[in-house]
Chains A and B, each alone.
Chain A
């Protein structure tokens, strides 16, 4: 059974640019959630999508957005990048949703903003 796949694994952008990250969940999982991980702030919840609907959103500015497609694949987009957006972005899939606590994480996309 294939795991959660995130692409790209590493990317470097400059301030002001935008970036799109992709996440393919485990087959059959309808929930995809996104997290930002930094040394200073730890693991912070960005948002969750379930069957193409955003169910919950963390405390991030509107520059952070996401969507989910009918095949459950998800993308997140960050516009007008800032230096502070440098982080590891983790995607997790779940059969029943984030509240079940049983998440399967990808290896992450490491974003560096210069």
Chain B
């Protein structure tokens, strides 16, 4: 079945370090891919998205490229800040005709130390 797999956390980095959070997916069709972020005590927020192969989503210094050949959508940031500490969720949607199907990964906790 359709699924999303994220790297296990927690990921602990020092401020200004480079971040990569791996996400791979399994899908029968052509999914759209998303990254959501959940800050402590809050709900999830959409961080970025990509709707087709080779698209790059970006927001707040974060980037992710939709790689169809490796079925991946890894999240990257060049220089993390303490304020980036949060849980990051990768998700996929198969779009219209698949009502209600937004599949989340297990989440990866990022801790950034000053």
Which residues in B have some Cβ–Cβ distance to A below 8 Å? 32, 34, 36, 41-46, 49, 89, 91-96, 98-102, 104-107
Contact = CB atoms under 8 A, between A and B. Distances in A.
Given A99-B93, A107-B43, A43 B100 contact: no
Contacts, number: 67
Contact of B99 (A4, A56, A103): A56
A102 to B, nearest CB: 6
A29 to B, nearest CB: 14
A45 interface: yes
A98 interface: yes
11 contacts: A33-B100, A43-B89, A43-B104, A45-B102, A45-B104, A56-B100, A92-B43, A98-B100, A99-B98, A101-B102, A102-B49
B43 A99 contact: no
B87 to A, nearest CB: 10
Given A43-B107, A98-B93, A101-B91, A107 B42 contact: yes
Interface of A: 4, 33, 42-43, 45, 47-48, 55-56, 90, 92, 97-108
B44 A90 contact: yes
A97 B100 contact: yes
A108 B32 CA distance: 25
B32 A101 contact: yes
B106 to A, nearest CB: 4
Given A4-B43, A56-B101, A108-B43, A99 B107 contact: no
